């Protein structure tokens, strides 16, 4: 059980925490918009000032894009080091007319705080800063060493983050990483995400004749790049949802009976899922449940198609080119580079005469999985149980968070994905919100987490 | 042989004919651009004035769009009636910077006249007006009755033409129709087009979830409309170029040995065709030559593809919709309505669960074929031989000219497609031109054609 003094402090300072978050949310730190460059800098400085107040050593690090904020507390003998990652930049707020209250004027309604960045990620990231504040103002020190790496480019691709991590492995050395930038399983049902899918994203461009042709005059005698594109894409996946790229499943482990049972026990309501998506029928790879299809199995989705005439009405053009963006979601052990090699070979072998192909490899990152029996995982589960009053469920996530693979590969550290948000928080949409109850439970869970982690001891990886 | 007086008149008035055409070409009658509405009216009035000069009865007929010009000469006892169709509107001239001389300031270079509309269709259409002028100014009368239907919306879809024809079948009654709005087979090799492909143009729209989804979070569990689209389109045609819509080939006649030989004899240079298209390989339905694939066989070409993210880089979206524009070229005896019925049924049967489909039937028109042994065809061949000094080759055309089917269906008349242009005349492109030699040969061929047709006699169809 956490020390009563800490919990009393949290209870006594609820209004102050909310006010401080509101101050943070009033800075329109939209990373995608160059007119917000000064706001981005102001947000980085605001974050840095928070750390200074806690006597952390702080640095605002310039990059080719927006600055990183790095901060660390003193090392604690015999206790491990945790690295918290988050971001202070936010998505653009447009369309503004769809917001009930302005995106950068935080407003409380029905127990929620509405603002751009409320949950993604200012509000969630801030919980870990406030828990450190609680420790320092109550006990004078933290029970473990904390490092914080807070970036300003998460919403625009994190272009400068990996470079920084690769060049500063010693500085960032840690026993585990903590990220709060996602959602609970459902209201009242916190979750820890132990698996993420990877991704391999491509663009296939097919070129035919040297110009758009009249489909009447030339049609039938010339390979049509759009016809070729649909045929080549169709060859990549069969009607049962099985991907046909040679060797694609070689490294994929079958789902274990235990995990299968555990996923089946999750309170997932398929009818509601369909209702929310406006669908009568779901679909996917034969032989798997909906959650398995979303979390445990690889996929192929076309993300974009472009060719020929796309305006109103009809134009009888035989287009000179056609292109598709498409991506595989990968599961742990699948290697994006291997997929690229095999895919390129397959596409070249089925590219028809009269068509030249170009395959662009946009980006790839492997899937990751954190062992459920890791001591960090167990510490996080205990902290969440005490703060939220409910044991977390263990879930996977269909999306990819490349930073988690980077932390694994470059720092040798597993990441605890502790989402305090909800699925309906409208991240990236108008009326983004964060439930104030979730905000305070998050601070509490983080406060307890530092204590729980401190009991694990220091691993070799983090010895300075 | 034509009367010497006629030929002398043509020779003596070459400059005048060219000057008159230049006057016509200086009117920027761009039908697609509303700022040219007054120019369109001016062009219609200019055409009407040409007919008045010849004592034709003339009417400028308002429509919901741009006006039609209708003109007719008196009937001639025992002689047939020919209906000439053409258009006074032109394509937009953009991109203007690619013109060597301004599009509406006709310029002579290397024996060509450069201007927008020079060949499409002002110059070609005008040959039939000038031949009538030659007859009237030389002989005081035409040897047959001529009717002219000249529209101002050909370049924007001829929306009001068919309605007018359907409502005025008696007025437009004729023995044969004449259109000069296409090209010769090659320089020095005139042609008569005896077959046109029809068309059946569709748009297939597939709808999936009620919004764009994150391809990581949802991918694999929801039918992706773009994945479904490429699969459904691929099912329509096999790798050998055979269309898979049930019954599609039922009405298609096999190509006759005689026609096959005749097409093989045409001086078609496949190497040059590839070079001009920038292709190393041609493609198409197995078992047919390039000209057969272009003219005699039906096709399926995708004309446009749209789905998801089409900007730069990557976006991990599972799109809520996907759509394609595609069209079949049809050969004579294939019924566009039958094709639509069978296509719709097939697409519905392969539309996967989780996807709603909508099939829009944009437009259809059947293929047409004019019997090679018709007396009108023979008359046209004689006229061309005398005017151009070379016998025409008989060709088909892969494109569709719906008005030809309309004339067949509503007026019961075959159409003579007598193209005076060349393939490289840059119709619809910058630097449109018309060779002055082709212009004058066209006038001469038309002058002789009226005489040749007058000898055939009147059919029952055109009895008033």
**DSSP readout, A247-305?**
TTTTTPPPPPHHHHHHHHHS---HHHHHHHHT-S----STT--HHHHHHTS-EEEEEEE
Tens digit of pLDDT for each residue in B171-197? 999 999 999 999 999 999 999 999 999
Residue B39 has pLDDT above 90, yes or no: yes
What confidence category does residue A464 fall into, taking pLDDT thresholds of 50, 70 and 90?
very low
The residue among A338, A365, A392 that closes a domain is A365
Q: In angstroms, rounded to a whole number, what is the distance separating the alpha carbons of residues B405 and A297?
A: 55
- For B216, which of A214, A278, A400 is closest by C-beta distance? A400
Interchain CB distance below 8 Å, A229 and B305: yes
Whether the model clears a pTM of 0.90, i.e. scores above it, the answer is no
What's the token pair of residue A42?
């102001």
The residue among A320, A336, A365 that closes a domain is A365
**What's the mean pLDDT in A369-382?**
94
* Contacts (Cβ under 8 Å, ≥6 apart) of A46: A23, A24, A27, A88
Tens digit of pLDDT for each residue in A241-261? 999 999 999 999 999 999 999
Q: H or E stretch including A324?
A: strand A321-330
- For B301, which of A227, A399, A400 is closest by C-beta distance? A227
Interchain CB distance below 8 Å, B220 and A329: yes
Interchain CB distance below 8 Å, B279 and A314: no
Closest CA–CA distance from residue B388 to any residue of chain A (Å): 25
Instruction: Find, among B402, B217, B423, the residue nearest to B318 by Cα.
Output: B217
Interface residue B100 vs chain A (CB under 8 A):
no
Q: Is B89 a catalytic residue?
A: yes
Instruction: Find, among A208, A213, A219, the residue nearest to A354 by Cα.
Output: A208
Q: In angstroms, rounded to a whole number, what is the distance separating the alpha carbons of residues B413 and A159?
A: 69
Closest CA–CA distance from residue B99 to any residue of chain A (Å): 18
- For B234, which of A217, A223, A230 is closest by C-beta distance? A230
Q: In angstroms, rounded to a whole number, what is the distance separating the alpha carbons of residues B444 and B420?
A: 11
Interchain CB distance below 8 Å, A224 and B294: no
Query: Helix, strand, coil shares of chain A as percentages rounded to 5?
Result: 35, 25, 40
Q: How many CB pairs below 8 Å do chains A and B form together? A: 272
Q: What 3-state class would DSSP assign to A5?
A: helix
Tens digit of pLDDT for each residue in B138-167? 999 999 999 999 999 998 888 899 999 999
Q: In angstroms, rounded to a whole number, what is the distance separating the alpha carbons of residues B148 and B79?
A: 17
Catalytic machinery residues of A: 89, 154
Q: In angstroms, rounded to a whole number, what is the distance separating the alpha carbons of residues B403 and B60?
A: 20
Find the residue in A nearest to B315 (Cα): A303
Suggest the residue from A182, A207, A215 to mutate for an interface test with chain B (most B CBs closer than 10 A).
Answer: A215
Answer whether residue A269 is part of any domain: no
What share of chain B in percent tops pLDDT 90?
88
Provide φ and ψ at B91, rounded to 5°.
-65, 155
**What's the mean pLDDT in B23-50?**
96
Tens digit of pLDDT for each residue in B86-114? 999 998 898 899 899 999 999 999 999 99
Residue A357 has pLDDT above 80, yes or no: yes
Looking at residue A1, its pLDDT comes to 66
Tens digit of pLDDT for each residue in A384-397? 999 999 999 999 99
Is the CA virtual torsion A425, A428, A432, A437 positive or negative? positive
Looking at residue B156, its pLDDT comes to 84
Looking at residue B313, its pLDDT comes to 82
Instruction: Find, among B72, B78, B41, the residue nearest to B54 by Cα.
Output: B72
**Counting Cβ atoms within 10 Å, is residue A4 exposed (0-12), middle (13-18) or buried (19+)?**
exposed
Region label for B241, one of left (φ > 0), alpha (ψ between -120 and 50) or beta (otherwise): left
CB atoms within 10 A of CB B11: 10
Q: Which residues of B touch A223 (CB under 8 A)?
A: 279, 281-283
Would you say A68 and A87 are in contact if contact means Cβ atoms under 8 Å apart?
Answer: no
Q: In angstroms, rounded to a whole number, what is the distance separating the alpha carbons of residues B18 and B442?
A: 13
Q: Are residue A234 and residue A354 in the same domain, yes or no?
A: yes
Interface residue A375 vs chain B (CB under 8 A):
no
Q: Are residue A181 and residue A39 in the same domain, yes or no?
A: yes
- For B219, which of A234, A299, A324 is closest by C-beta distance? A299
Looking at residue A159, its pLDDT comes to 86
Looking at residue A247, its pLDDT comes to 98
**What's the mean pLDDT in A375-383?**
97
Interchain CB distance below 8 Å, B201 and A314: yes
Q: Are residue A357 and residue A445 in the same domain, yes or no?
A: no
Mean pLDDT of chain A: 95
Q: What 3-state class would DSSP assign to A447?
A: helix
**What's the mean pLDDT in B189-214?**
95
CB atoms within 10 A of CB A15: 8
**What's the mean pLDDT in A48-70?**
97
Suggest the residue from B314, B422, B425 to mutate for an interface test with chain A (most A CBs closer than 10 A).
Answer: B314
Secondary structure of chain B in the HEC alphabet? Answer: CCCHHHHHHHHHCHHHHHHHHHHHHCCCCECCCHHHHHHHHHHHHHHHHHHHHCCCEEEEECCCCCCEEEEECCCCCCCCEEEEEEECCECCCCCHHHCCCCCCCCEEECCEEECCCCCCCHHHHHHHHHHHHHHHHHHCCCCCEEEEEEECCHHHCCCCHHHHHHHCHHHHCCCEEEECCCECCECCECEEEEEECEEEEEEEEEECCCCCEECCCCCCCCCCHHHHHHHHHHHCECCCCCECCCCCCCCCCCCCHHHHHHHHHCCCCHHHHHHHHCCCCCCCCCCCCHHHHHHCCCEEEEEEEEEECCCCCCCCEECCEEEEEEEEEECCCCCHHHHHHHHHHHHHHHCCCCCEEEEEEEEEECCEECCCCCHHHHHHHHHHHHHHCCCCEEEEECCCCHHHHHHHHHHCCEEEECCCECCCCCCCCCCCEEEHHHHHHHHHHHHHHHHHHHCCCCCHHHCC
* Contacts (Cβ under 8 Å, ≥6 apart) of A292: A255, A260, A263
Suggest the residue from A191, A216, A359 to mutate for an interface test with chain B (most B CBs closer than 10 A).
Answer: A216
Answer whether residue A272 is part of any domain: no
Q: Are residue A213 and residue A176 in the same domain, yes or no?
A: no
Q: Which residues of A touch B421 (CB under 8 A)?
A: none
Answer whether residue B60 is part of any domain: yes
What's the token pair of residue A362?
């946009």
Between A423 and B13, the more confident residue is: B13
Q: Which of residues 44-73 of A touch B (CB under 8 A)?
A: none
* Contacts (Cβ under 8 Å, ≥6 apart) of B76: B141, B142, B143, B144, B145, B454
**What's the mean pLDDT in B337-364?**
96
Q: Which domain holds residue B352?
A: 198-252+298-365
ipTM score above 0.90: no
Residue B170 has pLDDT above 90, yes or no: yes
Residue B462 has pLDDT above 50, yes or no: no
Question: Can you give the CATH number for the domain in which A382 is found?
Answer: 3.40.630.10
Is the CA virtual torsion A179, A184, A188, A190 positive or negative? negative
Q: What 3-state class would DSSP assign to A135?
A: helix
Q: Are residue B67 and residue B213 in the same domain, yes or no?
A: no
Q: How far is residue B40 CA from its own chain's centroid?
A: 21
Looking at residue B429, its pLDDT comes to 85
What's the token pair of residue B4?
């010497």
Q: Are residue B46 and residue B129 in the same domain, yes or no?
A: yes
Q: Are residue B31 and residue B96 in the same domain, yes or no?
A: yes
Looking at residue B137, its pLDDT comes to 97
Looking at residue A459, its pLDDT comes to 62
Q: Which residues of B touch A302 (CB under 8 A)?
A: 224, 226-227, 230, 307-308, 319, 322
Question: Can you give the CATH number for the domain in which B347 is found?
Answer: 3.30.70.360
Q: Are residue A387 and residue A314 in the same domain, yes or no?
A: no
What share of chain B in percent tops pLDDT 70?
98
Interface residue B430 vs chain A (CB under 8 A):
no
Answer whether residue A260 is part of any domain: no
Q: Which residues of B touch A211 (CB under 8 A)?
A: 278
Would you say A98 and A39 are in contact if contact means Cβ atoms under 8 Å apart?
Answer: no
Interchain CB distance below 8 Å, A314 and B284: no
Residue A307 has pLDDT above 50, yes or no: yes
Interchain CB distance below 8 Å, B305 and A322: yes
The residue among A365, A387, A413 that closes a domain is A365
- For A305, which of B241, B306, B315 is closest by C-beta distance? B306
**What's the mean pLDDT in A355-371?**
93
Q: Are residue A229 and residue A355 in the same domain, yes or no?
A: yes
Domain count along chain A: 2
Looking at residue A78, its pLDDT comes to 92
Looking at residue A462, its pLDDT comes to 44
What confidence category does residue B461 fall into, taking pLDDT thresholds of 50, 70 and 90?
very low
Q: Which of residues 265-284 of B touch A (CB under 8 A)?
A: 277-284
- CA torsion angle B285 B286 B290 B291 (round to 10): -80
Which member of B39, B72, B89, B452 is catalytic?
A: B89
Answer whether residue A275 is part of any domain: no
Tens digit of pLDDT for each residue in A160-216? 999 999 999 999 999 999 999 999 999 999 999 999 999 999 999 999 999 999 899
Between B2 and B101, the more confident residue is: B101
Residue B463 has pLDDT above 90, yes or no: no
Region label for B140, one of left (φ > 0), alpha (ψ between -120 and 50) or beta (otherwise): left
Q: Which residues of B touch A330 (CB under 8 A)?
A: none
Answer whether residue A271 is part of any domain: no
Residue B460 has pLDDT above 60, yes or no: no
* Contacts (Cβ under 8 Å, ≥6 apart) of B360: B202, B203, B204, B205
Closest CA–CA distance from residue A40 to any residue of chain B (Å): 23
Alpha carbon separation from A279 to A79, A273, A276, B69, B207 (Å, rounded): 51, 9, 8, 54, 10
Closest CA–CA distance from residue A397 to any residue of chain B (Å): 7
Between A34 and A334, the more confident residue is: A334
Q: Are residue A10 and residue A78 in the same domain, yes or no?
A: yes
Answer whether residue A259 is part of any domain: no
Q: Which residues of B touch A325 (CB under 8 A)?
A: 308-310, 314-315
What confidence category does residue B1 fall into, taking pLDDT thresholds of 50, 70 and 90?
low
Of A265-269, A285-289, B29-33, B313-317, which range is least confident?
B313-317
Answer whether residue A287 is part of any domain: no
DSSP class of residue A232 equals H
Q: Are residue A182 and residue A237 in the same domain, yes or no?
A: no
Looking at residue A463, its pLDDT comes to 40
Q: In angstroms, rounded to a whole number, what is the distance separating the alpha carbons of residues B62 and A460?
A: 90
Mean pLDDT of chain B: 95
Q: Are residue B182 and residue B209 in the same domain, yes or no?
A: no
Interchain CB distance below 8 Å, A284 and B315: no
Q: Which of residues 184-213 of A touch B (CB under 8 A)?
A: 197, 199, 201, 203, 208-211, 213
């Amino acid at each position: 059980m956490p020390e009563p003094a800490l919990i009393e402090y949290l209870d006594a300072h609820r209004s102050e925490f909310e006010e401080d978050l509101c101050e943070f949310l009033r800075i329109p730190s939209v990373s995608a918009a160059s007119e917000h460059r000064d706001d981005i800098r102001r947000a980085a400085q605001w974050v840095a000032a928070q750390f200074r107040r806690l006597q952390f050593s702080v640095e605002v690090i310039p990059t080719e894009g927006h600055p990183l904020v790095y901060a660390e507390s003193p090392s604690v003998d015999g206790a491990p080091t945790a690295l918290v990652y988050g971001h202070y930049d936010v998505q653009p707020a447009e369309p503004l007319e769809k917001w009930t209250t302005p995106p950068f004027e935080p407003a409380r309604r029905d127990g929620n705080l509405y603002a751009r960045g409320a949950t993604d990620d200012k509000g969630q990231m801030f919980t870990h800063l406030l828990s450190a504040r609680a420790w320092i103002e109550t006990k004078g020190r933290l029970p473990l060493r904390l490092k914080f790496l807070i970036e300003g480019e998460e919403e625009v691709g994190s272009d400068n983050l990996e470079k920084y991590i690769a060049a500063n492995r010693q500085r960032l050395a840690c026993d585990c990483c903590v990220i709060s930038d996602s959602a609970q399983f459902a209201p009242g049902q916190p979750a820890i995400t132990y698996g993420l899918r990877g991704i391999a994203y491509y663009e296939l461009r097919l070129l035919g004749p040297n110009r758009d042709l009249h489909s009447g005059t030339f049609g039938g005698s010339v390979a049509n790049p759009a016809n070729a594109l649909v045929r080549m894409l169709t060859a990549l996946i069969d009607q049962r949802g099985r991907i046909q790229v040679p060797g694609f499943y070689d490294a994929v482990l079958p789902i274990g009976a235990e995990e299968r049972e555990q996923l089946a026990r999750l309170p997932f309501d398929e009818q509601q899922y369909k209702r929310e998506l406006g669908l009568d029928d779901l679909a996917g790879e034969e032989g798997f449940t909906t959650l398995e299809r979303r979390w445990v199995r690889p996929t192929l989705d076309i993300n974009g198609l472009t060719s020929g005439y796309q305006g109103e009405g009809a134009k009888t053009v035989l287009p000179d080119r056609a292109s598709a963006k498409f991506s595989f979601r990968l599961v742990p052990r699948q290697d994006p580079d291997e997929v690229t090699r095999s895919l390129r070979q397959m596409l070249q072998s089925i590219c028809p005469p009269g068509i030249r192909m170009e395959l662009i490899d946009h980006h790839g990152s492997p899937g990751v999985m954190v062992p459920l029996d890791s001591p960090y995982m167990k510490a996080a589960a205990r902290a969440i149980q005490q703060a939220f009053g409910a044991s977390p469920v263990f879930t996977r996530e269909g999306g990819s968070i490349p930073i988690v693979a980077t932390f694994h590969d470059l720092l040798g550290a597993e990441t605890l994905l502790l989402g305090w948000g909800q699925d309906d928080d409208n991240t990236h949409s108008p009326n983004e919100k964060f439930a104030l109850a979730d905000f305070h439970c998050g601070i509490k869970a983080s406060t307890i987490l530092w204590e729980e982690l401190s009991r694990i001891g220091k691993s070799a990886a983090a010895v300075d």
